[in-house]
Amino acid sequence: EHQHTRYNPLRDDWVLVSAHRMKRPWQGQLEKPSPEDVPRWDPNNPLCPGTTRANGEVNPQYEGTFVFPNDFPALQPDAPEPDDSDHPLFRAAAARGVCKVMCFHPWSDLTLPLMSLAEIRAVIDTWAELATELGASYPWVQIFENKGAMMGCSNPHPHCQVWASSFLPNEARLEDRTQRQHLSQHGVPMLLQYAEQEAHRKERLVVENEDWLVVVPYWATWPYQTLLLPRRHVCRLQDLSEDEKNSLASIMKRLLIKYDNLFEVSFPYSMGWHGAPMGPYLEEDCGHWQLHAHYYPPLLRSATVRKFMVGYEMLAQAQRDLTPEQAAERLRNLSEIHYKQKVK
């Protein structure tokens, strides 16, 4: 009940927890929830089967997942080298890569929690295939989904993006360093040890099965942030067994149903997978890494009130009002039947 700070060993930083602030009245910005009446197929939606994209290409009549090059890529494979710097305070480095878009399903009105387990498993299989394909050449392959207009998603069709880069991004370099240090100091991968601790303590556990668990991490910054962890030591998506992929589909569906049920809205979030680097790192020992997925949802009090990362967060350090234990308990106690599929 009293403010305190918590250490995040994965990022080597701290978060201020101020639970008593949840009692303050809210007179700030209210968000407009995403529309619930998304058409199943829209001839003007460039992600739908059979429609024309911005570059003039026509999508095939796909029936499962569909992957294509991003028409507006942030990274391109043939970018030139930047000019040499004349001062150490003005440095630049080469940045090359490939950006792809992956549609989860041909229907625009079907999000992951409403998809079947077989359809979610197909998404996981495609993720693993892309990680293998792009990871053969690039050291980092970032799979990420921005869901909902609140998180900057410009298209309601269920999809994610995959960016492969010639460099390790900031978060990857940070997690590489902290996990390497933890293994060196404690003799066990950090997130493997963390998963074992959370499975035992249970106070931040949201859902679990034989191969996976989802927790609101002890150091969570976003109100209903979660961390998806395997129970065994595994470095990369493509290293998962068939059974682990099936149980991953199940636990993803259970988590995302709970998210939607929290405020009975298609829950916005940004999520992404972190695993051991690839490319040249495939020849190195990356045993300090543990595969995991981050979910960062912005909603705080309702479908219309979100958490803003401003002021103190931008200028000092992360701060949260709802404790991770309170958030986990609320998510844990929610139904695993989607609110849209409940019998009235």
Q: Using one digit for the tens of pLDDT, what is the confidence trace for 206-265? A: 999 999 999 999 999 999 999 999 999 999 999 999 999 999 999 999 999 999 999 999
Q: Is 294 annotated as a binding residue?
A: yes
pLDDT score for 149: 85
pLDDT top residue among 301 and 330:
330
Global pTM reads 0.95
Question: Does position 22 have pLDDT exceeding 60, yes or no?
Answer: no
From residue 321, alpha-carbon distances to 223, 290, 309 in Å are: 8, 29, 12
Q: How far apart are CA 42 and CA 155, in angstroms?
A: 11
pLDDT at 26 over 50: no
Element (H, E) at 93: none
Q: Residue 336 — very low, low, confident or very high, per pLDDT cuts 50/70/90?
A: very high
| Annotated binding residue 79 | no
Compare 26 and 287 and report the one with higher pLDDT.
287
State the DSSP string of 19-71: GGGGGS---S--PPPPPS---S--TT-TTSTT-B-TTSPBPP--SS-EEEE-S
The predicted-structure confidence for 255-291, as pLDDT tens digits, reads as follows: 999 999 999 999 999 999 999 999 999 999 999 999 9
Q: Does 153 appear as a known binding residue?
A: yes
- 314 labelled as ligand-binding? no
Of 154-163, 211-220, 304-313, least confident by mean pLDDT is 304-313
| Mean pLDDT to the nearest integer, 102-114 | 97
Tokens of 148: 């909902």
Under DSSP, the state recorded for 306 is B
Q: Is 258 annotated as a binding residue?
A: no
> Please, which residues have CB within 8 angstroms of residue 138's CB and are 6 or more apart in sequence?
97, 98, 164, 165, 166, 278, 279
| Predicted pLDDT of residue 344 | 67
With a cut of 60, say whether residue 27 has pLDDT above it. Answer: no
**Residue of 105, 157, 159, 288 marked active site:** 159
Q: Phi then psi for 131, rounded to 5 degrees?
A: -60, -40
Vertex 49 angle, CA 123 and 67, to 5°: 40
Predicted pLDDT of residue 301:
85
CA distances from 286 to 105, 204, 277 (A): 33, 28, 8
| Active-site residue flag, 288 | no
pLDDT band with cut points at 50, 70 and 90 for residue 131: very high
Answer yes or no: is 23 a known binding residue. yes
User: Chain-wide mean pLDDT for the chain?
Assistant: 94
**pLDDT attached to residue 154:** 81
Find out whether 317 is annotated in a ligand binding site: no
- 202 annotated ligand-binding residue: no
Residue whose C-alpha is closest to residue 257's, from 339, 183, 315? 339
pLDDT per residue over 173-196, tens digit each? Answer: 999 999 999 999 999 999 999 999
Write down all domains in the chain, each with its CATH number in brackets. 37-337 (3.30.428.10)
